[in-house]
Structure 1
Amino acid sequence: MSNIGVIGLGAMGSGMAKSLRRAGHAVHVCDARPGAAEAFAKDGGVACASPAEVGKSCHVVISVVVNAQQTEEILFGPNGAASELAGGSVFVMCSTVDPNWSIALESRLEALGILYLDAPISGGAAKAASGDMTMMTAGKPAAFERCEGLLEAMAAKVYRLGDRAGNGSKVKIINQLLAGVHIAAAAEAMALGLREGVDAASLYEVITNSAGNSWMFKNRMAHVLKADYTPLSAVDIFVKDLGLVLDTARASKFPLPLASTAHQMFMQASTAGFAKEDDSAVIKIFPGIELPKAGR
């Protein structure tokens, strides 16, 4: 049994913490929301009051927060983990961030004697809970050695993409390019069907059994059919992630016309008041359609 820290108990982080607990580790958890850590610890584990408390107790700390700003806060802010992590400990960063920021973070932690894994994740809350998600990892061999068995406890697929930080985050934003474009295209297709008077359930049945299907169409348009916009991944996540995609491409003057359009669609949905709704709510930007109602 090892003392492993998980900071951030959202849709993905809570599932990852549960997977580690199932694997027999003593999981120390922390979350900004009052009561979230205590609720997890009721079934086993240790609730910590701050990231510093997690860092003091654990030789591996896994961060599953929203973005680079929150990662900075849990590491270097008041009661941050970096001040308490022992030399040779590993910080595993699972957020979607600017690859250049991740590369710089490795150097900053290295100066403190802390190892680093650039390890974004994908697969959704259900796969995180079952230990079947995907991890895109990059870091020094010593960091991987310290995390032996831990990554596999959380993920069915662990890809090692390099011996320095950066490639994990680069591959993740490319994945997010595709995910965002696919959701936007799925919403556009369903919206056109509704505009043309096609029954939404029938359209869903046909498309999910035809060549035009995608994983995102099948998954996200099911939310639309149920009129359930409870955020598993919110509209503003893709405002952020596609923004990172475009920032990366802009730096090398690389054109991304589809990603740019999808980003504008999520921006429009966000400013229209749907920022915190499920990302399938991007369909609400289309005029002149009647969306399915709950209970139908």
Structure 2
Amino acid sequence: MRVGVIGLGSMGMGAALSLVKVGGMQVAGVDPREVARAELAAAGGTAAARAAELPEGTEAVLVLVVNARQAEAALFGPDGAVPRLAPGAVLIVSSTMAPEDARRLAAKAEGLGFLYVDAPVSGGAVGARAGAMTVMASGSQAAMAKAAPVFAAVAKKVWTLGEAPGLGSTMKVVHQLLAGVHIAVAAEAMALGIKSGIEPQALFDVVTNAAGNSWMFENRMPHVLEGDEAPRSAVDIFVKDLGLVTQLAREVAFPAPLAAQAQQLFISASAQGHGGKDDAFVIRAYQALTGIRLPKVG
């Protein structure tokens, strides 16, 4: 099967490498960064700078770019993938976006004779490289069947949420409410403990062995303890994703005060110049407010 992966970031690279490991897959990646293309090529795939350079007759394309605008350009823009795709190819769009954007892109794809799966993912860079992402998918039975070999390579679990495009994206937006709030409150707890005189490592050790622990606290706060600001997922990702949460909440007349407050915290950290740092460093917003010293980075 000829498969293209558009976007070789932390998730896309892992997915592409997982696909390379599967026998019978011919994997081509797309990314403007030469270092990303070189990594995939060294692993046995091929790579190009533009989606318009995918191999002709590509049967499935997995899109892991940042947002709906980038996904639309990567597929349908002047340098997009569509002219290189085989008739009836499946477009698996895993970018986090508003449900209405997923429905719009699906209609555009289906109007051109392609299958479309609305398929946001979770699992982070580690999960992607292990072929263990979680997929929240919606699409027709034909689209899901065509996408199945790709999902088998990159995911440990595929949740099928229905046939209507937009259901997968709705689920991801709800998930991001939890993810963003959990990261924000993990940072708040760590910052309060530091301000109150608790040694940071001891704070981490107690919380991760007690009822107040969360997956995000246990996964993200080691970055703070190590002073490691390299982004696995950046502060600005949650500025965007929590914006999608509050947008959806407005559309369905639903109050979402915790999501709105968490978004403001991420916006604050971004405004202070930390938008490109690991999302755990939303804690910098608390540092600016309270003057705490963070482990190893001050």
TM band (smaller chain): over 0.9
Structure 2 unaligned residues grouped into runs of 5+: none
TM-score (norm 1): 0.96
Q: SS at 1:113's partner residue?
A: coil
Q: Is 1:23 aligned to residue 32 of structure 2? A: no
CA contact (8 A) 1:96 1:241 kept: yes
Cα 1:35/1:229, change in 2 over 3 Å? closer
Q: Is 1:288 aligned to residue 291 of structure 2? A: yes
CA contact (8 A) 2:58 2:84 kept: no
Q: Is 1:207 aligned to residue 207 of structure 2? A: yes
CA contact (8 A) 1:55 1:81 kept: no
CA contact (8 A) 1:91 1:116 kept: yes
State how far apart, in whole Å, the 1-side matches of 2:55 and 2:77 are: 13
Q: Is 1:196 aligned to residue 196 of structure 2? A: yes
2:100 aligns to what? 100
State how far apart, in whole Å, the 1-side matches of 2:243 and 2:125 are: 23
CA contact (8 A) 1:122 1:133 kept: yes
CA contact (8 A) 2:59 2:89 kept: yes
Cα 1:273/1:178, change in 2 over 3 Å? same
TM-score (norm 2): 0.96
For 1:202, the aligned partner's letter is: A
How far off is 1:55 after superposition? 6.1
State how far apart, in whole Å, the 2-side matches of 1:210 and 1:216 are: 14
State how far apart, in whole Å, the 2-side matches of 1:290 and 1:155 are: 39
State how far apart, in whole Å, the 1-side matches of 2:78 and 2:36 are: 20
For 1:23, the aligned partner's letter is: V
Q: SS at 1:97's partner residue?
A: coil
1:219 aligns to what? 219
Cα 1:210/1:9, change in 2 over 3 Å? same
CA contact (8 A) 2:72 2:105 kept: no
Cα 1:102/1:283, change in 2 over 3 Å? same
For 2:66, the aligned partner's letter is: V
How far off is 1:90 after superposition? 0.6
How far off is 1:64 after superposition? 0.7
For 1:213, the aligned partner's letter is: N
State how far apart, in whole Å, the 2-side matches of 1:169 and 1:113 are: 22
Cα 1:247/1:208, change in 2 over 3 Å? same
Q: How many residues align?
A: 294
Coordinate RMSD, CA, aligned: 1.3
1:276 aligns to what? 276
Q: Is 1:165 aligned to residue 165 of structure 2? A: yes
Q: Percent identity between the aligned chains?
A: 50
After superposition, what is the alpha-carbon deviation per residue over 1:172-211, rounded to whole angstroms, capped at 9, x for unaligned?
0111000000000000001100110010000100000000
1:83 aligns to what? 83
CA contact (8 A) 1:137 1:158 kept: yes
CA contact (8 A) 2:238 2:263 kept: yes
Q: SS at 1:170's partner residue?
A: helix
Q: SS at 2:70's partner residue?
A: helix
CA contact (8 A) 2:5 2:27 kept: yes
State how far apart, in whole Å, the 2-side matches of 1:137 and 1:82 are: 21
How far off is 1:27 after superposition? 0.4
How far off is 1:38 after superposition? 3.2
For 2:10, the aligned partner's letter is: A
